[in-house]
Amino acid sequence: MNISFLHLTDFSLYSIGIHLIKKGKREDYWKFVKDLFIKGSVIILSLDLHDLKDVISNSKAYNLDFDDAYQLTCANKYNLTLISFDTDFDRSPIKRKEPKDF
């Protein structure tokens, strides 16, 4: 049985791709994708179009930018803990943890 304890949003996956490819690290991005998702057990999470209303609501309610509101909405939808250094999440009801907590 393959159980994953790590989830990543599609938004984060594409953001990492944008960053690495802009820096000319195309092969590093493919290695990242291959290691985590193809060989590994990380699960990609997505929101559907109807969830975008919640992204907007979370952005407004907790004064978050779009990417943070997207992550928060995903965490709410899938009942997950946010792992982040970003203290902006502390304005929301979901309690975040930092990587050092694991």
Tens-place pLDDT, residues 37-65: 989 889 999 999 999 999 999 999 999 99
Residue type, 26: R
Q: Is the CB of residue 13 less than 8 Å from the CB of residue 21? A: no
- Does pLDDT of 4 surpass 80? no
With cut-offs at 50, 70 and 90, classify the pLDDT of residue 5.
Answer: confident
The larger pLDDT score, comparing residue 4 to residue 6, is at 6
pLDDT of residue 2: 47
* Calpha distance 21→85 (Å, rounded): 24
Q: What is the mean predicted confidence (pLDDT) over 63-89?
A: 96
Q: Mean pLDDT over residues 74-96, rounded?
A: 94
Measured distance CA(9)–CA(47) in Å, rounded? 8
Residue 32: pLDDT over 70? yes
Ordered by start, the domain boundaries in the chain are 1-43, 47-102
Max CA-CA distance within the chain? Answer: 40
